Amino acid sequence: MGLPRDCGGVIHAVEAMTSQRRTRRFACAFTVALLALCVALTPQSALAWGDEGHRIIARVADRFLDPAVREKIAAMLAADPDNLTARDIASEATWADRYRDSDRNGNRQHYEQTRQ
């Protein structure tokens, strides 16, 4: 019992359809990947922490300090002559932003450059 003569044609047609499906799947997957890459590389607005985020992180960090270290930090903050923020660790966590914002049109930056 052999296969009918036209069976080879049917098998060839099935193989061709399978190949077309693979090609379509690849094209679809490639398109989705390309779209995802484009979305990932599109500039987004920064979701910065803001003052609240800085304060929360400072409070969490404060809870992990040894008592002796906490006292030294409190003394340093109390001696700070700057009036941009309050003297507690949570408020001081926003100092760099306050400093930058105090002179938006000037030369102040979010950081200080020092020469060595």
Domain tally for the chain?
2
30 domain-assigned: yes
Q: How far apart (Å, rounded) are the C-alpha atoms in residues 70 and 19? A: 69
Indicate whether 46 pLDDT > 90: no
The single residue listed with the structure tokens 């409190």 is 74
- Which domain range does residue 84 map to? 51-101
Say if residue 110's pLDDT is above 60: no
| pLDDT above 90 as % of the chain | 32
Q: How much is the pLDDT for 49?
A: 76
The Cα–Cα gap between 79 and 73 comes to 10
Indicate whether 60 and 96 sit together in one domain.
Answer: yes
Residue 88: closest CA among 114, 69, 108, 62: 62
pTM: 0.50
> Does the structure show a pLDDT above 80 at 104?
no
Write down the pLDDT at residue 54. Answer: 92
